[in-house]
Amino acid sequence: MASVTNERYQLRIDGTSTPASTDEYLTTVDPATGDPIAEFAAATASDVDRAVEAARAALPTWQAKSPIERGRIAHRVADVIRENAEKLARIESLDQGKPLEQAESDVEDAIRYFEYYAGVADKLEGKSVPRGEGTLDMTSREPYGVSGQIIPWNFPLSITARGVAPALVAGNTAVVKPAPTTPLSALHFAELCREAGVPDGVVNVVTGGTEPGAALSAHDSVDQLTFTGSVPTGEAVMKSAAETITPVTLELGGKNPAIVLPDADLEEAAFWVATGIFTNAGQVCSAADRAIVHESVYDEFVDLLVDRAESYELGPGVEDADMGPLNHADHYETVLEYIDTGVTEGATLETGGDPLDRDGYFVPPTIFTDVDNGMQIAQEEIFGPVSTVIPFSDREEAIKIANDVEFGLSGGVFSQDVKRALDTARRIDAGSVYVNEWFGGSVETPFGGTKQSGIGREKGLEALDSYLQTKNIAINLD
Ligand code: NAD
């Protein structure tokens, strides 16, 4: 793999590094300092055409490989990522801002996606359908063709692997569009895929801003789209996809509730809620945004949460601080505006709030109490290290507050009573619910949202449904 800094990165199309058609470049910066790290090619719509053409041209070669062979290649991708894990984690940490240990965990997830789906490549079976004598009826699971994948900046490498691994083993080829503030790991990933024996054109990466994303989602030669990002962009992607009747999987935001019942182990609950909202500086779609806490344990829980928040040491991700900076300047401003809004709305700022007096985009762990669920800070996704703590007096009220948002991505419940915990978990309207933990899912478990949090499921075996379509063949035996 090439080195990371002071480099000019090109697009990866058809197995080679190639400049954008306009030969223009954007800059990605280190969010811990605001200093440039590297330049990368700014793809245009015509570059997206080239990438999609390469992905289409590669389909016959890729689909001619047996499922066993595709599985073996996916295993080799996992191995090659593992061999380069240290360097990839450093690149991700530098470009995204996250602590090195969290970047290492993301690289491990990327490896696991390839290992997990590699094992499935030769098990994508169809069915036979009993229709009586004289006919044989069977189904097969067919790849869509070219998969367009649009990636956000919070987990650049692991979300790329999360979509590309199932797409490839199912027999699709891919064009990946990373976010403009975190393009580096996907470019290295494409290079590593080639090293692992993925044929040219099967994995292409077009970096840039809105133009390549919009071009990919409107492209009439893209057969399937996977988008992870914000609700407004997800809507735009879905509208463009409607023009060409292209299926979409959308993983959008969340405003996730963590219900703390009066019988919860409060130390444990405070640990998981802090982990859930301060990991990756809160830039996690499944963050524990709203702690909904019973009034009888509210003050004690807040004290424990504040202690945890104040114990975080902030610093550059590459120095493996407890928390890194926010990813980019605009987002930093947005999070600070939300903190001002919380104060104006009358919530109590218990800790944090003021940005660090240093270069880079550092916002400390911030906790608002006395939050009403109708406040903007309780309804809108802040996507930063800002916890909102909402009191409740009975469990019905807690469930009502939990579900009273436009999102439904994840949720959690803390209780030592298994019946109460399970009943509450079942009634939280979300794609994933964690009991007495947070971020409880893994590569093997389905992940996605209800309501405005999205359409479809990523991860686990269910993700394959986004990359395969069923074909029925009816044979007349008379
Ligand atoms: P975003 O919507 O701004 O951007 C996502 C991607 O879309 C980027 O690559 C961007 O360049 C591209 N894009 C921008 N305009 C486009 C257009 N018109 N057409 C097509 N593509 C376009 O989101 P973001 O700010 O990068 O990510 C943060 C958001 O993503 C948060 O809301 C977060 O909750 C959500 N998210 C969700 C999940 C999930 O799995 N549910 C995971 C990570 C992030």
Cα 359 from Cα 167, distance rounded (Å):
40
Residues 86 and 179 in one domain: yes
**What confidence score (pLDDT) does residue 3 get?**
45
Does the beta carbon of 10 sit less than 6 angstroms from any atom of ligand 1? no
| Residues known to be catalytic | 251, 285
Domain with 388 in it: 257-442
The Cα 338–Cα 363 span in angstroms is 12
> What letter does residue 312 receive in the DSSP assignment?
P
pLDDT reported for residue 4: 53
Q: Are residues 130 and 267 in the same domain?
A: no
**Which of 109, 153, 184, 233 to mutate to test ligand 1, by most ligand atoms within 8 A of the CB atom?**
233
Instruction: Tell me if 249 CB under 6 Å of ligand 1.
Output: no
Q: Is residue 145 part of a domain?
A: yes
Closest C-alpha to ligand 1, atom 22: 213
Model pLDDT for residues 286-303, shown as the tens digit of each residue: 999 999 999 999 999 999
Task: Clarify whether residues 54 and 184 are in a common domain.
Answer: yes
Q: Are residues 434 and 287 in the same domain?
A: yes
**pLDDT for 90:** 97
| pLDDT of 227 over the 90 cut | yes
Q: Are residues 282 and 197 in the same domain?
A: no
Residue 331: both structure tokens together? 């987002």
Residue 363 near residue 382 (C-beta atoms within 8 A): no
Has residue 429 been placed in a domain? yes
Per-residue pLDDT, averaged over 32-43, amounts to 97
- Domain assignment of residue 131, yes or no: yes
* CATH classification of the domain holding 185: 3.40.605.10
318 with 242, same domain: the answer is no
Closest ligand 1 atom, CA of 216?
A: 20
Q: What is the pLDDT of residues 198-216, one digit of tens each?
A: 999 999 999 999 999 999 9
Question: How far is the C-alpha of 134 from the C-alpha of 129, rounded, in Å?
Answer: 13
Residue 447 has pLDDT above 50, yes or no: yes
- Under the banding of pLDDT at 50, 70 and 90, the label for residue 2 is very low
| Same structural domain, 187 and 314 | no
Our answer on whether the CB atom of 213 is closer than 6 Å to any ligand 1 atom is: yes
Atom of ligand 1 nearest to the CA of 447: 40
Closest residue CA from atom 40 of ligand 1: 251
Asked if residue 394 belongs to a domain, the reply is yes
Question: Considering only CA atoms, which of 367, 435, 393, 372 is closest in space to residue 297?
Answer: 393
Ligand 1 center to 233 CA (angstroms): 6
Contact 171, 70 (CB under 8 A): yes
Nearest atom (ligand 1) to Cα of 208? 11
327 and 375 assigned to the same domain: yes
Nearest Cα residue to 324 out of 26, 39, 159, 92? 92
pLDDT of residue 1: 47
**Within-domain flag for 1:** no
The letter for the amino acid at 302 is: V
Kindly state whether residues 336 and 360 are assigned to the same domain: yes
CATH code of the domain in which 422 resides? 3.40.309.10
Residue 3 belongs to some domain of the structure: no
Q: How far is the CA of 151 from the centre of ligand 1 (A)?
A: 6
Contacts of 45 (CB under 8 A, 6+ apart): 211, 212, 214, 215
- Ligand 1 within 6 A of CB of 381: yes
> Quick check: CB of 184 below 6 Å from ligand 1?
no
291 and 366 assigned to the same domain? yes
CB of residue 383 inside a 6 A radius of ligand 1: yes
Of the pLDDT bands very low, low, confident and very high (cuts 50, 70, 90), residue 416 is very high
* pLDDT (0 to 100) of residue 369: 98
Closest ligand 1 atom to 458 CA = 40
- Residue 179 CA to ligand 1 center (angstroms) comes to 7
The reply to whether 57 and 186 lie within a common domain is yes
Residue 414 has pLDDT above 70, yes or no: yes
Ligand 1 pocket test, candidate residues 249, 251, 285, 466, most atoms within 8 A of CB: 285
Residue 447 lies in a domain: no
Grade residue 7 by pLDDT with cuts at 50, 70 and 90. confident
- 298 and 183 co-located in one domain: no
Residue 478 lies in a domain: no
- pLDDT over 50 at 93, yes or no: yes
Q: How many domains does the chain have?
A: 2
For 356-394, write each residue's pLDDT tens digit.
999 999 999 999 999 999 999 999 999 999 999 999 999
